[in-house]
Amino acid sequence: MATSLSLLLLLLLLSLFSLSPSLSQALTPKCSTLDHGSTLQVLHVNSPCSPFKTREPVSWRQDVVQMQSKDLGRLQYLASLVAGKSVVPIASGRQIVQSPTYIVRARFGNPPQTLLMAVDTSNDAAWVPCSGCVGCAATVFDFATSDSFKSLGCQDAQCNQVPNPTCTSSTCSYTMTYGGSTVAANLSQDTIMLANDSVPAYTFGCIQKTTGTSVPPQGLLGLGREPLSLLSQTQSLYQSTFSYCLPSFKSGNFSGSLILGPIGQPKKIKYTQLLKNPRRSSLYYVNMTGIRVGRRVVNIPQTALAFNTTTGAGTIIDSGTVYTRLVQPAYIAVREEFRRLVDANVSSLGGFDTCYTVPIVAPNLTFIFSGMNMKLPPDNYLLRSTAGSTTCLAMAAAPNNVNSVLNVIANLQQQNHRILFDVPNSRLGIARETCT
């Protein structure tokens, strides 16, 4: 009897280790799913629970430089959206493009298969790597085993909503660029489970081939506003409303939450108007009117903050960029006042030009929007080395080689805030919240 029990336990352990990384990790107590109702657990890609944390350990200094280099690719991608271009030049052949930093669990098909999908507020259609994909990660969606999977044809209306559609054997296929990568996918439908919510006949791209390094390994969940986005396809379920709370990079398990729909959203929250650019309607523009450093609202030319539908100028909230980028006049005004108040010798680190190697007392920093202010805690605008020997202002000017008209409020500045996207009422809410 004892021998049989030992053998049974051994077989059970072997079966656990043979699972895919995402599923085996999901079974460990620390990484067990916390999804419930219409709320999904949000993980940072470098979380201990993320199967994508594969890079070699590097020093704090190397980590900062690498992350900012990747961020540059993300900015180039956003610039391409603003400019309406399909292809963006990459500054260097060695450029690595930053894919979105946060992921959620989604289950596709019947029976359901778990994938960890990147959350991207500046994209629309969802896409996942499918079995047989060339250039995709090891974990893919095996559509052949799903009873509810369906390929869409060129006669289907959704085929007109994807870029560059083509027909092969009556299947609607399309290609697109994402940062420095290209994606070739077949337009498909299947059931998607988000927390406890089941969405039948969800339209997405079933990836057949990818090139480059910027495609999220297990797919992407687009939270933009155009027809194929999650908001548009689930309008009756979630009423085009969602919020997220992104945890601090320093938190133990890097876990936050994504709440879908109006139920469960905070009651005490301040709002600013959401603006819409008809040329790029998926981007979430807001009216930032100024920036306060310490007690002073710095002198920024109005043209540096003004919303312009023709040029794409203005300010967007983006979940996929790590460090806030401001157009040159705005950043210089913030930087100079910050330096004046700190009054210490300045050094640089990678693309950050306001760093200090001595202890400093940093001034407060506040983004001023129409109708509300967003006061940032120090962890949201300062980078501190693990040894405490270096501190940097964690924002920079938009590089000269990308569209320099766009201010991007990035996820480091958003961490430990509840960011509420209320599309029907054209408003964005922000409230302080401990996300972890």
Spot the catalytic one: 35, 120, 190, 422.
120
Q: Say yes or no: 238 and 294 in one domain.
A: no
As a residue count, the chain comes to 436
Residue matched to tokens 């991608």: 77
pLDDT-wise least confident of 26-30, 163-167, 412-416: 26-30
Spot the catalytic one: 35, 71, 124, 318.
318
The verdict on residue 270 lying in a domain is: yes
Distance between CA atoms of 427 and 422, rounded to whole angstroms? 5
Q: Is pLDDT of 84 > 70? A: no
Q: If pLDDT is split at 50, 70 and 90, which confidence band does 400 have?
A: low
3-state secondary structure of 388: coil
- Give residue 2's pLDDT: 43
DSSP of 109-151, one letter per residue? Answer: TTTTEEEEEEEETT--S-EEEEEEEES--S--B-GGG-TT-EE
**pLDDT (tens digit per residue) in 230-278:** 999 999 999 999 999 998 766 555 578 999 999 999 999 999 999 999 8
Cis peptide before 111 (omega within 30 of 0): yes
Average pLDDT over the chain, rounded to whole? 83
Q: How many domains is the chain partitioned into structurally? A: 2
Residue matched to tokens 């401001």: 326
Q: Per the structure block, which two tokens stand in for 264?
A: 């469960």
Distance between CA atoms of 216 and 98, rounded to whole angstroms? 9
**Mean pLDDT calculated for residue range 219-225:** 92
Contact between 378 and 295 (Cβ < 8 Å): no
**Mean pLDDT calculated for residue range 165-180:** 84
Counting Cα atoms < 13 Å in the Cβ hemisphere of 98 gives: 27
Higher pLDDT, 288 or 32: 288
Q: Say yes or no: 154 and 223 in one domain.
A: yes
pLDDT-wise least confident of 33-47, 76-90, 141-155: 76-90
Looking at this protein, which amino acid is placed at residue 161? Q
190 is catalytic: no
353 is catalytic: no
Q: Is pLDDT of 311 > 80? A: yes
The verdict on residue 61 lying in a domain is: no
Q: Say yes or no: 114 and 221 in one domain.
A: yes
The verdict on residue 254 lying in a domain is: no
Q: Say yes or no: 326 and 232 in one domain.
A: no
The verdict on residue 87 lying in a domain is: no
Q: Is pLDDT of 29 > 50? A: no
Looking at this protein, which amino acid is placed at residue 177? T
Looking at this protein, which amino acid is placed at residue 229? S
CATH of the domain at 223: 2.40.70.10
Q: Say yes or no: 156 and 302 in one domain.
A: no
Contact between 136 and 211 (Cβ < 8 Å): no
Q: Say yes or no: 285 and 227 in one domain.
A: no
Looking at this protein, which amino acid is placed at residue 395? M
Q: How far is CA 149 from CA 134, 153, 220, 228, 327, in A?
A: 20, 13, 18, 17, 45
Give first-to-last CA distance, the chain, whole Å: 45
Q: Per the structure block, which two tokens stand in for 208?
A: 């057949």
Q: Single out the residue in 246, 273, 297 at which a domain terminates.
A: 246
- Give residue 22's pLDDT: 41
The verdict on residue 375 lying in a domain is: yes
- Give residue 320's pLDDT: 87
Residue matched to tokens 């994606």: 183
Separate counts of helices (H) and strands (E) for the chain = 7, 28
The verdict on residue 191 lying in a domain is: yes
E strand segments, 48-112: 102-108
**Mean pLDDT calculated for residue range 150-166:** 92
The verdict on residue 299 lying in a domain is: yes
The verdict on residue 31 lying in a domain is: no
**pLDDT (tens digit per residue) in 343-394:** 999 999 988 999 999 999 999 999 999 999 999 999 999 998 877 789 999 9
Distance between CA atoms of 320 and 301, rounded to whole angstroms? 27
Residue 347 sits at φ, ψ, to 5 deg, of -130, 180
Domain that holds residue 225: 39-52+98-246
Q: How far is CA 38 from CA 22, 28, 199, 415, in A?
A: 21, 23, 12, 21
Q: Say yes or no: 274 and 360 in one domain.
A: yes
